[in-house]
Amino acid sequence: MRHVIIIGSGPAGYTAAIYAARANLEPLVIASSVEYGGELMKTTDVENFPGFPEGIMGPDLMTRMQQQAERFGAEIVYDDVVSLELDGPVKAVTLGNGDRHEAHAVIYATGSAYRKLGLPDEERLSGYGVSWCATCDGAFFRQKTVAVIGGGDSAMEEATFLTRFADKVYVIHRSESFRASAAMIDRARADEKIEFVMNSRVEHIYGAELVTGIGIVDTVTGDERTLDLQGVFVAIGADPRTHLVHGVLELTEQGTIAVDGRSSRTSVAGVFAAGDVVDPTYKQAITAAGSGTVAALDAQHYLETVHDASRTAAVASA
Amino acid sequence: MSTRDVTDATFEAEVLKNEKTIMVDFWAEWCGPCRAVSPILDAIASEHPDKIEIVKLNVDHNPETAMKYQITSIPAMKIFRGGEVVKTVIGAKPKPALEADLAEFLA
């Protein structure tokens, strides 16, 4: 039986692992089989993580966090959680390979999953021009025309990144103003390959075998038009990944896992949550890392209490 | 067992003229999901040596083949039989999900 199992390997999961490992809790980290390292694995330069004045590549940052956790004794398993038993004093986690692990406490840091546009041809053309990862797929659009759908930081980053390859990059956003930070917007605005298409909603993705264009509607005038292009990069945000804990942990109205005040304590004793899965607002690597720290410290405190209680019970029954 | 590489130069002989069922993993160094799925493909290949052969093609070094098969997203895994693509799987997936996608070729 473990002290604590950490589910997730983004900044929240690995930071929780660093703290838990340094507290001699020998954490087991379930890192995922193909999405380990989390969202930062799909980014390039991270320029706002403190301590890296020259910036650092997202995958490098995550490898460093992983190594830092391992240095203090965290054990990392590259598999996916398929089911959880969180009620009661002993928590159990079952993995894709069938292994079952038990622990007194669980830190849940599964992050969030990309939102889809919800268009009929999106799934069919996914991988044939529709993409959720500019850093993975951008290079296949050399001298092509592409569109980034979205108005947040990730949309700006993807658009700027795609100008390395594409001749033209549309940024299509459904409202008049961006959620993205000023620095990211300014950089995109300064790029002559980028054209902003505001107040516009994507209605269709066209293409028999590969994407050939999109149909957009002006949300103010209702006018429809078609843009001929070969790539569609969807960056309209992400939803907290809570499917494993539906009906088990209390959720907020925004769909994140509910926690008690500024702590990481969920509605189930011994289960703590951290990172984007509890954060409907900030969703930054550094806030996720901070939240991972909170979860590790809360878990540590909980384990001390459980340990004291079981010792008292043992003395009482002796 | 680690999967071996094929190139633009060897593609015809090793893949198109291969008599066995062969899967080509189109990948690149800079693609995180490709690196993640690579050991899973190695495992599937070594667990089913008589059913399927799995090879890798680096799209940066072999643009001709990548272009011919209209790769726009990696990892892209294409299964060839008798020189024809009979199945395409796109994106890194956990081992059970990949095995389900490939079930007809592994049985």
Q: How does pLDDT run across A268-291, given as a tens digit for each residue?
A: 999 999 999 999 989 899 999 999
Tell me if B55 sits within 8 A of B4, measured CB to CB. Answer: yes
Smallest Cβ–Cβ distance between B36 and the set A34, A139, A231 belongs to A34
> A216-255 pLDDT, tens per residue?
999 999 999 999 999 999 999 899 999 999 999 999 999 9
Q: Spell out a b/e string for A45-62, using b for 16 or more CB atoms within 10 Å of the CB, else e.
A: ebeebeeeeeebbbbebb
Distance CA A174, CA A77 (A): 41
Is B73 in contact with A136 (Cβ distance < 8 A)?
yes
Strands (E), A9-110: 28-30, 45-46, 56-57, 75-77, 81-85, 91-95, 100-108
Is B36 in contact with A36 (Cβ distance < 8 A)?
yes
- This model of the complex carries an ipTM of 0.82
Per DSSP, helices labelled H in A172-217 are: 182-189
* Smallest Cα distance from A188 to chain B, Å: 23
Tell me the catalytic residues of A. 133, 136-137
* Active site (annotated) includes residue B78: no
- Provide the mean pLDDT of chain A: 94
Tell me what the mean pLDDT of segment A44-63 comes to.
Answer: 92
DSSP labels, B15-50: IIT-SS-EEEEEE-TT-HHHHHHHHHHHHHHHH-TT
> B4-50 pLDDT, tens per residue?
999 999 999 999 999 999 999 999 988 888 988 999 999 999 999 99
Flag whether pLDDT at A115 surpasses 60. Answer: yes
A130-131/A112-114 β-pairing? unpaired
Sheet holding A224-228, edge to edge: A200-206, A213-218, A224-228
Smallest Cβ–Cβ distance between A34 and the set B72, B73, B92 belongs to B92
* Smallest Cα distance from A51 to chain B, Å: 24
Flag whether pLDDT at A317 surpasses 80. Answer: no
Q: What are the angstrom distances between the C-alpha of A197 and each of A27, A42, A141, A169, A194? A: 48, 25, 20, 10, 10
Flag whether pLDDT at A309 surpasses 90. Answer: no
Q: How many contacts does A have with B, using Cβ atoms within 8 A?
A: 74
Contacts of B26 in chain A (CB under 8 A): none
Give the model's pLDDT for residue A311: 74
Contacts of A128 in chain B (CB under 8 A): 70, 72-73, 90
Is A33 in contact with B36 (Cβ distance < 8 A)?
yes
> A250-265 pLDDT, tens per residue?
999 999 999 999 999 9
Name which of A77, A83, A85 is nearest A6 in CA terms: A77
Is B73 in contact with A128 (Cβ distance < 8 A)?
yes
Smallest Cβ–Cβ distance between A140 and the set B71, B91, B95 belongs to B71
Is A136 in contact with B74 (Cβ distance < 8 A)?
yes
Is A128 in contact with B36 (Cβ distance < 8 A)?
no
Touching check for A98 and chain B: CB below 8 Å? no
Which three-class secondary structure state does DSSP give residue A40?
helix
Tell me if A155 sits within 8 A of A171, measured CB to CB. Answer: yes
